[in-house]
Amino acid sequence: MERTKKLKFNLLDVIIIIVAIALITGLVIRFNLADRIINSEQQARVTFLVSGIRTDTVDESLLEGDIFYCKKFNGQFGELIDRDQFKVSPAKQLLDNEQGIAVESKLDYRSDVVGYIKATGRFDDERGFLADGVNQIAPGGEYEIHSSHRSMIITVLSVDPVE
């Protein structure tokens, strides 16, 4: 005669199921997975400064529509936009004079450029703008970015939502 095993639910099984549900809930809350699913992607206009770029390469290095990638988070940073609104000024640096006082000096053949990149991600109440929903782009942050034309280090001046 063949015996059939009956499945019994005991207290240990119930505890394991409750712990598993709690772990999954904790992961969803910790990594804001619910927000990522609910919130659609948003566009941001990132104002940046690149300092000391060679003056004769500004026009060929910063082309509207170029896609820039970020070395820091190994992904797309955004697309160069509004090229006609870029502000180009002579590059400056601080040097000590004979008395040890810092004096502003212009760098020959170098420029500082304030420009704009359109980035895709989402705005988070606590962390600001997150590129690809994960990587923070914040004012004051320095990022090494590159396109097919240029590699440079930028300082983010502001991040504003695109309406």
Q: Is residue 4 part of a domain?
A: no
- C-beta of residue 146 within 8 angstroms of C-beta of residue 71: yes
Q: Is residue 97 part of a domain?
A: yes
The count of domains in the chain is: 2
Indicate if 81 and 35 belong to the same structural domain.
no
Please write the tens of the pLDDT for every residue from 73-122.
Answer: 888 888 989 888 889 888 888 888 888 888 888 888 888 899 999 998 88
Distances (CA, A) of 120 to 27, 100, 134: 25, 46, 11
For CA atoms 58, 45, 119, 133, give the dihedral sign. Answer: positive
Q: How many CB atoms lie within 10 A of CB 138?
A: 14
Indicate if 123 and 96 belong to the same structural domain.
yes
What is the residue whose two structure tokens read 């400064």?
49
Q: Is residue 2 part of a domain?
A: no
Both structure tokens of 30: 């910790």
Indicate if 46 and 102 belong to the same structural domain.
yes
Indicate if 92 and 16 belong to the same structural domain.
no
The 3-state DSSP composition of the chain as helix, strand, coil percent (nearest 5) reads 20, 50, 30
Q: Is residue 1 part of a domain?
A: no
Indicate if 31 and 53 belong to the same structural domain.
no
Indicate if 111 and 141 belong to the same structural domain.
yes
Indicate if 72 and 148 belong to the same structural domain.
yes
Domain coverage including residue 18: 10-39
Please write the tens of the pLDDT for every residue from 115-152.
Answer: 999 998 888 777 788 887 778 888 999 999 998 878 88
Q: How high is the mean pLDDT of the chain?
A: 83
Q: What pTM, to 2 d.p., does this model score?
A: 0.69
